[in-house]
A and B are shown apart, each in its own frame.
Chain A
Amino acid sequence: MSYGRSKSDLKIEAEQVAWLAQVLGLDVKPEELAGLAAALSNQLPSIDVLERFDLKDYPPILRVDAEWYD
C-alpha cells in the first residue's frame, strides 16, 4: 500500500482489524489483514500532525473564492 507517510509506535493487530471489518461488513481476506493493520497503524497517527496546528477557529467549511485581493 503506497499512501501514508506517518510512522509511530502504534501497533494495531490483525485480529483488531478483523473485528472492525466484521462490524463494518467489510470482507477482508485473511492474508490481507496484516497489511491492512500495518497501514491503519501508519494512518491513524496522522491526526497528531493535524492537531499540532491550532484548528479551533477553522470550521470544516470548504470555500474557494476568487476574491483573494479584496
Chain B
Amino acid sequence: MSEAINIHSGAAGHAVHHDDHGHGHPEQSFISKYIFSMDHKTIGKQFLITGIVWAIIGGLFSVLFRLQLGFPDQSFPILETFFGHWAKGGQIQPEFYYGLVTIHGTVLVFFVLTAGLSGTFANLLIPLQIGARDMASPFLNMLSYWFFFIASIIMLSSIFVHTGPASGGWTMYPPLSALRQAGDGQKIGTDLWLIAMALFIVSSLLGGLNYISTILNMRTKGMSMTRLPLPVWAMFFTAVLGVLSFPVLLSGAILLIFDRNLGTSFYLSDIVINGEILPNEGGSAILYQHLFWFLGHPEVYIILLPAMGMVSEILSVNARKPIFGYMAMLGSMFSIAVLAFLVWAHHMFVTGLNPFLGSVFVLLTLLIAVPSAIKVFNWLTTLWRGNIRFTPAALFAIGFVSLFISGGLTGIFLGNSTIDIHLHDTMFVVAHFHIVMGVASFFGMFAGVYHWFPKMFGRYLNNTLGYLHFWVTMVGAYLIFWPMHYQGLAGMPRRYLDKRGWVSFNQFADLDKMITVVSIIVFAVQLMFVFNFFYSIFKGRKVTSQNPWGANTLEWTTKIKPGHGNWDGEIPEVHRWPYDYAKDGREFIPQTEPVGANESKH
C-alpha cells in the first residue's frame, strides 16, 4: 500500500518538475492558487469574501426597508434613481418591500451566517487546529465553494429580473410561494430562489461531509477528541446538524417545485385567487412548515454554534485562563445539537397545532435554556478574575455573550405556547431572533475575523477602527433591537409595509425613526470594517511572530503565512489539551509541549 503511494507521488513529482522531492509543492498558477484552489485556507477566504459581499447586500436591503418603516411619509428621490419603478415617487413599493425583506432574510441566514461563517472558519480552522494538511477531500471542498458561488450568482440575478426577486418571505411558505398568480415576486424570482437554494444545499452538504470526516479521521498524533479546541467541536456539531437537516429542506423544496411547475397539490387545497377557483385539492400548507422548520430550527444552531465555539477559544486566549468547564461545554453543545431536532414545532404554535403536542414542544424548547445557561456560566467564569486583554476580538467575544444572554432570555417568552399566541409574528420575534441569532453570530464572526486575520493574511486589522467598529455596533445593536420588544409587546406586527392605519401604533412613529437612523449609522460602520478588512490585507501592520496572541492551539505552530500542506516538516504531535493557560506559573503552554514530570494535572 505505502509502496504504491510512494511510486505514485514519485511519478507525479517527475512529471511536474523533474526531481524526486516527493513532498514539494510545485509553483502553482494564479488560477489553481487563488481561484480553483483546493487549499482549505484559500477556500475559507473565498467563503469569507463572498460572505462579506452578501452581507453588504443584505445589510443594505435592511437599510432600505427601514427607511420605509421609519419614514413612511417621506419621499427619497434617490431611490427612484436607483430602483426605478420599484420605488416610484421615491417611495418603496409594496412588492419591492416584500422582495427586500425576503432577500434580506435569505441572504443573511444562509449566504452570510451559514456559508460565510461556518464555510469560512470550518475551512480555515479544522485542518489547522486538528493538525491535518488539508480536508479529507480537498476536491469536494472546492466543489462546495463553487456550488455556493453559482447559487450566489443565481440568487443575485433574481434581484435584476423584471418581476423582481422572490417575495414570499425567507421561509417561502406555500400557498403564497407556490402560485405564480399571487404576485410579481412569485414568478421567475421564486424559481431562481428555489434553484439557488437547492445549489446552496448541495454546497453545504459537500462542506459538511468533509468537515465531519476530516475531524473524525485526520487528527494528528495525540489529538484525541477531548483535546480538540472548542471551535473544532462546534464546527463538528454544526456539520452534523447541517448534514441531517438540510436534506429535509431539500425534500420540502422538491415538493414545492412540483407544486409550482408540474401541477401537483402537495401544499395546495381549496384556493380562490383573484376570483379564480383553483383545481388543486387535498394538499396541506402546514406540511411544508413541518418540513421547513425541521431544517429551520437546526439552522439556528448551525448559525450559532460556530460563533459559540470561536468565542470560547477567543475568551480563553484573551483572558489568559483555561476555558471553564471544557467537558460541560462539550456536553452542552451535544445537548443543544440533539434538542435542535426536537423543537421545530415551536415555530408553529399558532397553526392549529394540537395544544397537547404543543406542550411537549414547549417543554423541549425550554430545556434548551439549560445547556445555554451552562455555556453562559462557563464564559463568564472564564472571564472571572482573568488577566483580560481587550483586543477587538476579545471585545466582540464578550459582546457575543452579552447579546446571547439578552436575546436568549426573550426566547423563554416565545417558547411558551400561550404567550406566543400574543407575540407570534410581532416585532418581539424580530427583536428576539435578531439579537440572539443574527447579531450574536455576527459578533462571533467578527471576533473570529479579528482573531484569525493574522493567520489568514499575515497582517493585523487596524485596532483603532476595530474598537470603533465594536462600540458603535454594540450600542447600535441594542438601540435598534431593544425597542422592538416594546413594539411587539404592544402587538405591532412584523412584515407590514405601513402601520399608519393603526392609531395604537402611532405612538411608535418616533421610535421607528430612531431605529432607522441608528441602523444607517451601524451599516456605515460595517462598511468601515469592510474597508479595514481589504485595506489591511495589503497594507496592514505585518505579523512578526509566529504566535502573536500567545495561544496554545496548533494553527500558531505553522509559519506566519503557511503554504498548502500547512506544516513544512512533520505535522506536530499533540501532548495536552488546548487550554493550559496560567498553569504552574507559566502564561501559556502550547499543545505540542510534552507533559513535564512535575506538572500538575489540569
**A and B assemble together:** no
Could you tell me which A residues sit within 8 Å of B by CB distance? none
Could you tell me which B residues sit within 8 Å of A by CB distance? none
